[in-house]
């Protein structure tokens, strides 16, 4: 009742990360990272019907994470910049028993296997920048049981920003719209969740 879960054990992790970063002239920059993480006593979020607005935590099992992160920033011509970021996540529970029973081989919740972010910016004037971008996520699972998932989706975004100076001080005014195509991701049990 006081908000402290006395049965929650510390989650312990160890891992490795290897990466390379480079620049080619002033028009291309890249960053590639590979990572591995082993966790014991990984945390799992849940809610209870009597307190639906609160999130609770418990130890959800042991997990192994492999992944890669790639980033590129390209300037093909001076007023145009393209940024692309991709993340591959292979996050699975190892031999574990949790609230859901045996979850060995299940995917960790809230972890899409593929994520792709893009951003294209154009500066027709030195103080004005126009941009469009997208956020793409593959299907992911809602909890450690993997019984419920959210379908993958893509959100389209746009923005306009204007930089200015007034009385020796700088500022920026920005207008941004996210999810302009009003995409809704669907739940695999036929309910609908707003993306």
Mean pLDDT of all residues in 125-140? 95
Model confidence pLDDT, tens digit, residues 33-76: 999 999 998 887 777 888 888 888 888 789 999 999 999 999 99
DSSP class of 76: S
Q: How confident is the model at residue 186 (pLDDT cuts 50, 70, 90)?
A: low
As a whole number, the mean pLDDT across the chain is 88
Cβ–Cβ under 8 Å, residues 195 and 184: yes
Q: Is the pLDDT of residue 29 over 80?
A: yes
The answer to whether the Cα torsion of 54, 58, 60, 62 is positive or negative is positive
Mean pLDDT of all residues in 113-126? 96
143-146: which pairs have CB atoms within 8 A and are 24 or more residues apart? 143/44, 143/46, 143/100, 143/109, 144/44, 144/60, 144/61, 144/93, 144/98, 144/99, 144/100, 144/103, 144/106, 144/108, 144/109, 145/100, 145/101, 145/103, 145/106, 146/103, 146/106, 146/107
If you compute the radius of gyration of the chain from its CA atoms, what whole number of angstroms results?
21
What is the DSSP code string of 115-183? Answer: EEEEEEEEEEETTEEEEEEEEEE--EESSTT---EE--EEEEEEEEEEEEEETTEEEEEEEEE-STT--
pLDDT of 166? 86
How large a percentage of the chain has pLDDT more than 90? 61
Residue 38 backbone dihedrals phi, psi, to 5 degrees: -110, 130
Q: Is the pLDDT of residue 84 over 50?
A: yes
- Distance separating alpha carbons of residues 30 and 127, to the nearest angstrom: 26
Cβ–Cβ under 8 Å, residues 64 and 74: no
């Amino acid at each position: 009742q006081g908000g402290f879960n006395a049965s929650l054990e510390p989650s312990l992790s160890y891992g490795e990360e290897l990466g390379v970063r480079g620049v080619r002239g002033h028009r291309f920059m890249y960053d590639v990272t590979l990572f591995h993480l082993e966790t014991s006593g990984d945390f799992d979020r849940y809610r209870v019907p009597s307190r639906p607005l609160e999130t609770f935590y418990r130890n959800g099992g042991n997990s192994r994470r492999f992944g890669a992160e790639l980033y590129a920033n390209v300037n093909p011509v001076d007023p145009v910049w393209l940024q692309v970021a991709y993340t591959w996540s292979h996050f699975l529970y190892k031999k574990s028993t949790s609230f859901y029973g045996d979850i060995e081989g299940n995917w960790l919740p809230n972890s899409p296997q593929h994520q792709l972010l893009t951003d294209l910016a154009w500066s027709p004037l030195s103080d004005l920048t126009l941009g469009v971008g997208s956020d793409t996520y593959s299907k992911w699972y809602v909890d450690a049981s993997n019984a419920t998932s959210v379908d993958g989706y893509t959100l389209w975004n746009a923005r306009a920003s204007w930089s200015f100076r007034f009385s020796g001080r700088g500022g920026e005014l920005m207008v941004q719209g996210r999810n302009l195509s009003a995409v809704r991701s669907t739940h695999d049990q036929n309910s609908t969740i707003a993306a």
